């Protein structure tokens, strides 16, 4: 462990692809300067895309439309099931349809500030510019956004911004946007432009002469491990929130693709930046397999409280008004229940740590609609939140019209990811990362309704423009399937799978995942301390050692073996978790979703330390269990000047 802590600081990392000039012109300039591939030559280029969520689906469809040969992968049985489908709230765009003062610049400003000044200005500005085109694109695809009676698009406001710029399709915006991308992708599959491999999971990256030239993937049905070669590889494999075991991610979402790429040379940026969503349904027991998010919009009308006395087990209805603590309204009178996600989450943790939490295990706070029902009437509440109340009741068997909801924060999104330059290219030439898999746009905290925006911006507009430049500059020779780099990667993958299968242990993969997740949640979750992180960094190598000693995986590798899939993902979590803790330990400031107890203002708020930490960390892998090398990318703020956030 001590060795791991003694990481070296390497050369600073510079984004060589970033164009200069006025920020509003940079994207145009980059697109003009980027080389193009002659349309007739595109078919000769093969691009691998891993993942079919908003970013991957959009990228695969768009690259095939341009004429590239796309080979695409997803572990699900259909590209339509990627976890983007579960996003509820909406997608931001600076359309200014409301004439409420919105603009590209304001969306840019809000996103940089919301990210607590830990994102790159150029990237965020480009995102805001493209947001406008995304809505046009999705409407043209037939995405059924909510509309007003006049037939125009409806918008709503979201997460602490002062304009109404969030487009939505009831509570299923992610589903509708994903189906749009999936349909565009399906059209290309039918046209022969995309070779789709479903139920196929990427297990390693093939790097030849320093360039990403393919992947090793396992057919999850037959167990066959194959190499797939290409001129460039795009990872759109999502975030790594499942390292926490319990999260709002899909059960099979995993970090293997990005982690294997990291081990092959792609730097990992800001791994400790994870977002915790304040309004999830609390866990009901040890059997809990995942957590379910309730839309943030509930905080518009619900009031959050806990009993004033610790250990008060009375039913909520029997706790009189003056014995309740509406703690958000008390501590943050200006914003009340509408403070940003990170602040609401931490406040809930604090009251629960004080022993005032409610529900099983004291891990919950009340979200009470009694006042809203008294004020607006039950029908108005039902019209606004009916489907959410129904979902809550289905899961908990409690009627939120009668009994206050119980909520608790949960891991929801990871801002960190593979380091990419302005072109979304990682430190391995030819390897690109898009969507949640990269670290680029959200800094230390993501605003609501911005994940969908970023995924689609990367997939539809950014990557298809920038990958041209790489392909045009690097005419590639064919790599033979038996190239030593490919054969070596296959050998490593199969050896690891065999080791998992042959180990004669007595613990299930699930039990290790749960233990790792609990450790991370406690020490690298909502608030972090040096001692806690050091403790976790001590425990993780032990757990890893125990894993390889005691893991038990049934069945064989030549069949559909879900236990093997799971165990293989946990191997990577056991390494990634260590890097997350190290990154959190290194960043001794608090910012966004990363709260270090040592760095707070006198009234207990996160204290950023710009003079020391105005950079993104990018970790270089050295060897398993050995200390990584830290590279810093300095962040310069020319257009939005860092200020301390205040919501009191």
Q: Is 80 in the site for other proteins (CB under 8 A)?
A: yes
The CB-of-58 to other proteins minimum distance in angstroms stands at 7
Of the candidate spans 113-121, 457-465, 575-583, 584-592, the one that interacts with other proteins by CB under 8 A turns out to be: 457-465
Report the phi/psi class of residue 199: left, alpha or beta, with left for phi > 0 and alpha for psi in -120 to 50: left
Q: Which is nearer to other proteins, 362 or 628 (CB)?
A: 362
Give 249's contacts (C-beta < 8 A, 6+ positions apart).
83, 238, 239, 241, 242, 290, 411
Within 138-157, which residues bind other proteins (CB under 8 A)? 139-142, 144-153
Within 309-348, which residues bind other proteins (CB under 8 A)? none
CB 132 within 8 A of CB 124: no
Q: What is the DSSP string of 593-632?
A: TB-BTTSB-TTS-B---HHHH-EEEEEEP-STTSPPEEEE
Among 10, 67, 538, 642, binds other proteins (CB under 8 A): 67
Within 100-139, which residues bind other proteins (CB under 8 A)? 133, 135-137, 139
Among 45, 81, 213, 263, binds other proteins (CB under 8 A): 81
Work out whether strand 46-50 and strand 232-235 pair parallel, antiparallel, or are unpaired: parallel
Q: Using alpha carbons, list the distances in angstroms from residue 555 to 497, 499, 502.
A: 12, 13, 10
Q: Is 432 in the site for other proteins (CB under 8 A)?
A: no
Binding-residue pattern over the window 252 to 281 for other proteins, x denoting contact by CB under 8 A:
xx----------------------------
Q: Is 186 in the site for other proteins (CB under 8 A)?
A: yes
The CB-of-141 to other proteins minimum distance in angstroms stands at 5
Among 122, 172, 237, 426, binds other proteins (CB under 8 A): 172
Q: Is 170 in the site for other proteins (CB under 8 A)?
A: yes
Q: Is 16 in the site for other proteins (CB under 8 A)?
A: no
341 catalytic? Reply is yes
End-to-end CA distance of the chain: 41
The CB-of-281 to other proteins minimum distance in angstroms stands at 10
Q: Is 515 in the site for other proteins (CB under 8 A)?
A: no
CB 123 within 8 A of CB 440: yes
Within 529-588, which residues bind other proteins (CB under 8 A)? 552, 554-555, 559-560, 562-563
Beta strand ranges found along 327-440 (DSSP E): 365-368, 405-414, 417-418, 431-433
Q: Which is nearer to other proteins, 76 or 527 (CB)?
A: 76
Q: Is 22 in the site for other proteins (CB under 8 A)?
A: no
Within 225-244, which residues bind other proteins (CB under 8 A)? none
Beta strand ranges found along 91-168 (DSSP E): 91-92, 155-156, 166-167
Q: Which is nearer to other proteins, 78 or 622 (CB)?
A: 78
The CB-of-324 to other proteins minimum distance in angstroms stands at 26
Give 375's contacts (C-beta < 8 A, 6+ positions apart).
none
Of the candidate spans 4-12, 246-254, 411-419, 605-613, the one that interacts with other proteins by CB under 8 A turns out to be: 246-254
Q: Using alpha carbons, list the distances in angstroms from residue 619 to 10, 257, 584.
A: 9, 16, 12
The span from the CA of 521 to the CA of 363, in Å, is 13
**Count of positions on this chain that bind other proteins (CB under 8 A):** 92
Taken as a whole, the chain contains a residue count of 648
Q: Which is nearer to other proteins, 136 or 371 (CB)?
A: 136
Q: Is 487 in the site for other proteins (CB under 8 A)?
A: no
Residue 190 phi, psi (nearest 5)? -65, -35
The CB-of-500 to other proteins minimum distance in angstroms stands at 13
Among 26, 30, 42, 262, binds other proteins (CB under 8 A): 42
Among 18, 24, 86, 629, binds other proteins (CB under 8 A): 86
Which burial class, exposed, middle or buried, applies to 370 when counting CB atoms under 10 A from its CB (0-12, 13-18, 19+)?
middle
Q: Which is nearer to other proteins, 268 or 413 (CB)?
A: 413
The CB-of-226 to other proteins minimum distance in angstroms stands at 15
The CB-of-91 to other proteins minimum distance in angstroms stands at 12
195's enclosing H/E stretch is strand 194-197
Of the candidate spans 34-42, 232-240, 515-523, 601-609, the one that interacts with other proteins by CB under 8 A turns out to be: 34-42
CB 270 within 8 A of CB 415: yes
Among 49, 107, 179, 582, binds other proteins (CB under 8 A): 179
The CB-of-28 to other proteins minimum distance in angstroms stands at 15
Q: What is the DSSP string of 228-294?
A: EE-SEEEE-----GGGGSSSSS-TT--SHHHHHHHHTT--EE-TT-EEEEEEEPPP-STT-----B-
DSSP state letter for 438: B
Work out whether strand 417-418 and strand 211-219 pair parallel, antiparallel, or are unpaired: unpaired
Q: Is 97 in the site for other proteins (CB under 8 A)?
A: yes
The CB-of-171 to other proteins minimum distance in angstroms stands at 10
The span from the CA of 110 to the CA of 645, in Å, is 12
Among 20, 101, 285, 624, binds other proteins (CB under 8 A): 285
Give 172's contacts (C-beta < 8 A, 6+ positions apart).
88
Q: Which is nearer to other proteins, 377 or 554 (CB)?
A: 554
- Out of 81, 211, 213, 341, the active site residue is 341
Residue 64 phi, psi (nearest 5)? -70, -40
The span from the CA of 392 to the CA of 171, in Å, is 14
Q: Is 189 in the site for other proteins (CB under 8 A)?
A: yes
Active site residues: 341
């Amino acid at each position: 462990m001590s060795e791991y802590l003694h990481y070296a600081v390497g050369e600073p990392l510079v984004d060589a692809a970033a164009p200069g000039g006025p920020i509003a012109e940079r994207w145009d300039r980059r697109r003009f300067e980027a080389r193009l591939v002659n349309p007739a030559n595109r078919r000769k280029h093969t691009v691998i895309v891993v993942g079919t969520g908003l970013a991957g689906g959009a990228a695969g469809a768009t690259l095939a439309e341009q004429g590239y040969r796309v080979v695409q992968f997803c572990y699900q049985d259909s590209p339509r099931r990627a976890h983007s489908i579960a996003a509820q709230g909406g997608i931001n765009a600076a359309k200014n349809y409301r004439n409420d003062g919105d603009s590209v610049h304001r969306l840019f400003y809000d996103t940089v500030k919301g990210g607590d000044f830990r994102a790159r200005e150029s990237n965020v500005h480009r995102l805001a510019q493209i947001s406008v085109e995304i809505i046009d694109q999705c409407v043209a695809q037939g995405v059924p956004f909510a509309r007003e009676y006049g037939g125009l698009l409806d918008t709503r406001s979201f997460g602490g911004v002062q304009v109404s710029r969030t487009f939505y399709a009831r509570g299923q915006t992610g589903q509708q946007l994903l189906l749009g991308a999936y349909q565009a992708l399906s059209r290309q599959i039918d046209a022969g432009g995309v070779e789709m491999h479903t139920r196929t999971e990427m297990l390693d990256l093939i790097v030849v002469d320093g360039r990403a030239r393919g992947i090793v993937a396992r057919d999850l049905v037959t167990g066959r491990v194959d190499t797939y070669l290409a001129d460039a590889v795009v990872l759109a494999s999502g975030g790594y929130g499942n390292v926490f075991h319990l999260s709002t991610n899909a059960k099979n979402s995993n970090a293997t693709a990005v982690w294997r790429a990291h081990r092959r040379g792609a730097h990992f940026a800001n791994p400790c930046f994870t977002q915790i969503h304040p309004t999830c349904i609390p866990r009901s027991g040890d059997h809990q397999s995942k957590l379910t998010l309730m839309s943030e919009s509930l905080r518009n009308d619900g009031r959050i409280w806990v009993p004033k006395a610790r250990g008060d087990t009375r039913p909520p209805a029997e706790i009189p008004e003056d014995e309740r603590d509406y703690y958000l309204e008390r501590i943050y009178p200006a914003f009340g229940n509408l403070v940003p996600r990170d602040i609401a989450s931490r406040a809930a943790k604090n009251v629960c740590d004080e022993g005032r939490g409610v529900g099983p295990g004291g891990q919950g706070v009340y979200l009470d609609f009694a006042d809203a029902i008294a004020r607006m009437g039950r029908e108005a509440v039902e019209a606004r939140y009916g489907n959410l109340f129904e979902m809550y009741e289905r899961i908990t068997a409690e009627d939120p019209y009668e009994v206050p909801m119980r909520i608790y924060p949960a891991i929801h999104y990871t801002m960190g990811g593979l380091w990419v330059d302005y072109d979304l290219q990682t430190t391995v030439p030819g390897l690109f990362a898009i969507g949640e898999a990269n670290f680029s746009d959200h800094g230390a905290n993501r605003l609501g309704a911005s994940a969908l925006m970023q995924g689609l911006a990367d997939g539809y507009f950014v990557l298809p423009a920038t990958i041209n430049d790489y392909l045009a500059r690097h005419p590639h020779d064919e790599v033979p399937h038996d190239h030593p780099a490919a054969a070596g990667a296959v050998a490593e993958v199969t050896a690891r799978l065999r080791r998992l299968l042959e180990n004669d242990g007595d613990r299930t993969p699930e039990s290790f995942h749960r233990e790792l997740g609990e450790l991370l949640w406690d020490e690298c979750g909502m608030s972090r301390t040096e001692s806690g992180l050091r403790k976790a960094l001590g425990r993780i190598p032990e757990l890893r050692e125990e894993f390889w000693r005691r893991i038990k995986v049934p069945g064989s590798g030549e069949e559909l073996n879900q236990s093997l899939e799971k165990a293989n993902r946990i191997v990577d979590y056991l390494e990634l978790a260590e890097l997350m803790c190290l990154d959190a330990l290194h960043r001794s400031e608090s910012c966004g979703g990363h709260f270090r107890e040592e760095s707070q203002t006198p009234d207990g708020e996160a204290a950023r330390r710009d003079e020391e930490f105005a950079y993104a960390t990018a970790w270089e892998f050295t060897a398993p269990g050995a200390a990584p090398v830290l590279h810093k990318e300095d962040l310069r703020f020319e257009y939005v000047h860092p200020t301390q956030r205040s919501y009191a």
